[in-house]
Chains A and B, each alone.
Chain A
């Protein structure tokens, strides 16, 4: 059974502050690590798919890093805005036919 852990479980951040959270995953049989943003009453939205060790991706104020050797990824949000409030999910895949294995998510609340 694959174990994908996300921390913290929830996070309250003041508007304008920067924040980051962690996803840890198995370091063996790695194929890709996905990040999704899931706003209430909407569908999960893909942020990044990362495959290479040391990879760093950026989308506006959001960026992510990947360390496949030690099995972790960080998601960073710079200058948090109220619209960043959402649950952020990471998901691991070994590339087989087992689909994505998701963590429980980090619930981010941006306080004005």
Chain B
């Protein structure tokens, strides 16, 4: 079975641009979460989606948005990019909303803002 897949692997953008990151969860998993990891820090929670509904949101500005599709894949959108948005963006899936379940992570998308 395929694990969590994310695309693209790497991305370079300039300030002010917009970006869309994509995530396909493990087959059968209905919950997708997004995390941002900057160098020297642990991953920071951005969003959780379950059954196509936003279930949780971290402390990120409204420039960050996401959605989940009927096939449970998800997109993370970031508008008006800032230099500080340069980070590794991780997607994780679980088969339920329960935080007692281990999260299955993808390899991430490395976003660089010039």
Residues of A78-112 at the interface with B, using a CB-CB cut-off of 8 Å, are 89, 91, 93, 95-105
User: A32-B100, A93-B99, A104-B42 are contacts. A43–B48 as well, Cβ < 8 Å?
Assistant: no
Choose the segment among B63-71, B73-81, B105-113 that binds chain A (4+ C-beta atoms closer than 8 Å). B105-113
Closest to B37 in A: A102
Using a Cβ–Cβ cut-off of 8 Å, how many residues does chain A contribute to the interface with B? 26
| B35-79 near A? 1/0 per residue, CB < 8 Å | 100001111111010000001111000000000000000000000
* Interface set of A (CB-CB < 8 Å, partner B): 4, 31-32, 34, 36, 42-46, 49, 51, 89, 91, 93, 95-105
Q: Let me know if B104 is at the binding interface, CB within 8 A.
A: yes
- The distance in angstroms between the C-alpha atoms of A45 and B35, with both chains bound, is 15
User: A43-B3, A96-B56 are contacts. A31–B99 as well, Cβ < 8 Å?
Assistant: yes
The residue from B45, B103, B106 contacting A98, defined by CB atoms under 8 A apart: B45
Whether B40 and A34, one on each chain, are in contact in the complex, defined by CB atoms closer than 8 angstroms, is: no
